[in-house]
Amino acid sequence: MSPITKSVRLSPDESKLLAEISQAEGISEAAILRQFIRAGMNKYRLDRAIQAYQRGEVDMQAAARYAGVSVHHLMVELEKREITPPAATEKFLDGLKALAETFGGSPALHETIAAYEAQLAATPDSSTPADAEE
């Protein structure tokens, strides 16, 4: 697939800053702009996925898929943002824990699962089993 050219208008201050960054990094202004655009689009997708997850529109796996990240990465991001998983996530975490134990998941995965379990135990809403709502 051949690249598509888009033009961007910058203020004089933005242009100056771009030139400074380009010189400091030793790469072209076009490459810097591509990096910034990619990073911005990735952040946008992650933010939108987290918003949809918080509203209950998607589960964690679908949110991770939309954001283009792993479920583990999404869980870490949720923890950074201090977003408590909904009660339905308890079932997901139980399944994830069983999967990790069965297949010897990574230590980082086990640590993340343990941290979320502790967080769920400390959350008043999580004391009610998800099955009780059904």
**58 and 28 inside one domain:** yes
Task: Answer whether residue 38 is part of any domain.
Answer: yes
User: How many domains does the chain divide into?
Assistant: 2
pLDDT digits (tens, 9 = 90+) for 77-89: 999 998 877 666 6
Residue the block writes with tokens 């598509």:
4
Which pLDDT belongs to residue 90? 63
Cα 3 from Cα 6, distance rounded (Å) = 10
Q: Are 60 and 75 in contact (CB under 8 A)?
A: yes
In the DSSP assignment, the letter for residue 26 is: T
Give the pLDDT band (50/70/90) at residue 124. Answer: low
Final residue belonging to a domain, choices 69, 96, 112: 69
pTM: 0.61
Residue 63's Cα: distance from chain center in Å?
8
